[in-house]
Structure 1
């Protein structure tokens, strides 16, 4: 899943332009590496948990892709539905297994693309399609991420088993989605589209907080003959507040723990035309090894700018392939110039320290580039780039009349996607 990056004389990191390209995030220079050869069929090297030919997949169960242990490893997985929406997932550092970390939709078609490497370093590919079983007509909610401990920037997600378009029905749903944190904070749901909501506090979560999320929809009439069904609750915890702020003008990253600076790192960011995105991003995954290729962003193989290199200690901040990672080829520019194709590059030692220090849900902010601001949704978690007022405008309850009788101005709700 990665489910769905880097001056001309040095290899550089590439920002992918579309979520489906996330599997081949890029960093490097001209290469005659044999891995650039046409991939072989990796069918015999991997298995798909819960996917059987001719049978519909249970959408309530995670999707798993496993290497069969013959010396081969999985290097990347992308899973998308028919609309191109990316299924988030996590790949083990040793490449032995990928597992989805976001729920599948009911009654949907998915395509899964898997990249592998055999024991000799040659790359393989395997693509399959499958359908998920339809819903029973009840509205269920799948919360994310998985239970566990996260950084203070981690939003909560709610994926609905059925689309909810009507403004009054949205208000019913939102009232039933309960979030309780200790210590208590002010927060709100925001409708991303007619099946997805995100929840975040007004400010970042408190450190060492406990967050309980549940649905009270069971048996509740939502509207149009749709009733709520049962849903599994979620419990999260937050760790220390860790923030990394990269200044593309000074070419420095400052890492703070609980507001205190713990390290300043020379970096390089995207050069003009490949500017790194400004704004707040949330760490999505930590990937000890990523194969990055220039072809993933449209650079022809064999051209002056082409590359195909192994990249280590990669911390992912967008699904389209923006990372903070080791870039030993650009150490001479780090702290002085921006020479990448969009990622934040640093020395191998600094990248390893960053990899070991940062966690999923921690905050990575970039300032001072010529690039656009990170989008709120669709390419990771850019939720914090909306002001609190903008965030609340995406809530159905924010549009409800004071007496609670219904939406005061349904037109202000976000349009369906």
Structure 2
């Protein structure tokens, strides 16, 4: 009596098993697990390997079959190398170029189109440079300077003409408040290449200035070498102190915020050696100095000790004490400088910070003072200065 039902169950069980098998097969066909998905292909350039990477390029990372979720790059000193993702994570490019003789470590994370996450580490070393170019910046970092001070960058080696535009683009000046200005290429009095940034007009007192040069890995010319680092410095504009020398009246007048705060008398250049005209920038100062005639083309005519020396041009236009001169305030008989009593020279020395301006009026000197003869950026009009830019 029970055989029939048992036979019925025997036939039903295989059918259920087959149905279960069919359902499982359908589920497997709909997709594979994340772990079985192929990882995104991540390519780092320069590639890892024993061959030194060629200079002049940026670090780039590319993801195929997915997107980058993280890129972290360290240089040989452990410093972070900044860069930017693009294309929704399809690529990453460093902000700056690779620098000479440096080992870089690139760590990436990526997610494939199928959702698989992967991580990778790549290490490469750059080739050494045959020659390294360096720079010296004026003002120095953290310095407080006068309202006429330019940013001045002096290079150790020549900058090739066809490299100047790229180098100028890598140099950024940021000011607070905003001040309009421009870079200009200059031949320094000592013969080296220089690039200066001057504001259109005098700096407002209290301006904060930041200068950054993303020069690492930049070639300055076939025979001039590569830059091996970036630069970052800043300075502050101090009080608005200026001076005006009126040659015919033998007078130097000091101004604060455009208002006269006192005048002193002295002696400017003689008719044979008239003081250079125009607006000069105080480039340096010495509390005591020996005046050597040979430095301004007068052989061994004199060797005199002077105090409170304020330097204008590199060729020797100074403000200084001249106690040996018995004609101060009466006759212009110097060799191009403006001489004063020791007490007056100290007053001027203390009043004029480095970077302040001294305008010379009424001189018979018609010789143009080259911009590189000191920090003489104010010898040119704003349109003239703008023509010195490689990006004009």
2:317 to 303, 319, 322: 322
Q: Which of these two proteins has the greater Rg computed from alpha carbons? A: 2
Partners of 2:371 and 2:379 within 8 A in 1: no
In the alignment, the residues of structure 2 paired with residue 350 and residue 379 of structure 1 have an alpha-carbon distance, to the nearest angstrom, of: 26
Matched residue, 1:313: 308
Structure 1 residue 144 displacement after superposition: 2.3
* Number of residue pairs matched by the alignment: 259
Give the direction of change, closer, same or farther, for the CA distance of 1:211–1:139 in structure 2 (3 Å limit).
same
In the alignment, the residues of structure 2 paired with residue 191 and residue 158 of structure 1 have an alpha-carbon distance, to the nearest angstrom, of: 10
Structure 1 residue 275 displacement after superposition: 0.5
Give the direction of change, closer, same or farther, for the CA distance of 1:338–1:189 in structure 2 (3 Å limit).
same
Per-residue CA deviation, residues 45-82 of structure 1 (Å, 9 max, x unaligned), is xxxxxxxxxxxxxxxxxxxxxxxxxxxxxxxxxxxxxx
In the alignment, the residues of structure 1 paired with residue 148 and residue 212 of structure 2 have an alpha-carbon distance, to the nearest angstrom, of: 20
Give the direction of change, closer, same or farther, for the CA distance of 1:316–1:135 in structure 2 (3 Å limit).
farther
1:179-218 alignment to 2 at 5 Å? 179-193=173-187, 195-218=193-216
**RCO greater where, 1 or 2, for CA within 8 Å and sep 6 or more?**
1
Q: Structure 1, unaligned stretches of length 5 or more?
A: 1-133, 399-417
Give the direction of change, closer, same or farther, for the CA distance of 1:245–1:135 in structure 2 (3 Å limit).
farther
Give the direction of change, closer, same or farther, for the CA distance of 1:136–1:240 in structure 2 (3 Å limit).
farther
Structure 1 residue 298 displacement after superposition: 5.1
Partners of 1:267 and 1:334 within 8 A in 2: yes
1:344 to 320, 338, 342: 338
Partners of 2:214 and 2:231 within 8 A in 1: no
Give the direction of change, closer, same or farther, for the CA distance of 1:231–1:260 in structure 2 (3 Å limit).
same
Structure 1 residue 244 displacement after superposition: 0.6
| Alignment pair present for 1:170 and 2:177 | no
TM-score (norm. length: structure 2):
0.60
Secondary structure of 1:330's aligned partner: coil
| Alignment pair present for 1:273 and 2:267 | no
Secondary structure of 2:165's aligned partner: helix
In the alignment, the residues of structure 1 paired with residue 308 and residue 222 of structure 2 have an alpha-carbon distance, to the nearest angstrom, of: 50
In the alignment, the residues of structure 2 paired with residue 315 and residue 222 of structure 1 have an alpha-carbon distance, to the nearest angstrom, of: 34
Matched residue, 1:287: 286
Per-residue CA deviation, residues 237-279 of structure 1 (Å, 9 max, x unaligned), is 1101111100101211111011111111112101111111001
Q: Which runs of 4+ in 1 moved over 6 A?
A: 221-227
| Alignment pair present for 1:154 and 2:152 | no
Structure 1 residue 201 displacement after superposition: 0.7
Secondary structure of 2:260's aligned partner: strand
In the alignment, the residues of structure 2 paired with residue 221 and residue 321 of structure 1 have an alpha-carbon distance, to the nearest angstrom, of: 35
Secondary structure of 1:384's aligned partner: helix
Secondary structure of 2:264's aligned partner: strand
Cα RMSD between the aligned structures?
A: 2.6
Matched residue, 2:245: 246
Partners of 1:172 and 1:222 within 8 A in 2: no
Per-residue CA deviation, residues 116-139 of structure 1 (Å, 9 max, x unaligned), is xxxxxxxxxxxxxxxxxx965566
Matched residue, 2:378: 384
Secondary structure of 2:154's aligned partner: strand
Structure 1 residue 365 displacement after superposition: 1.2
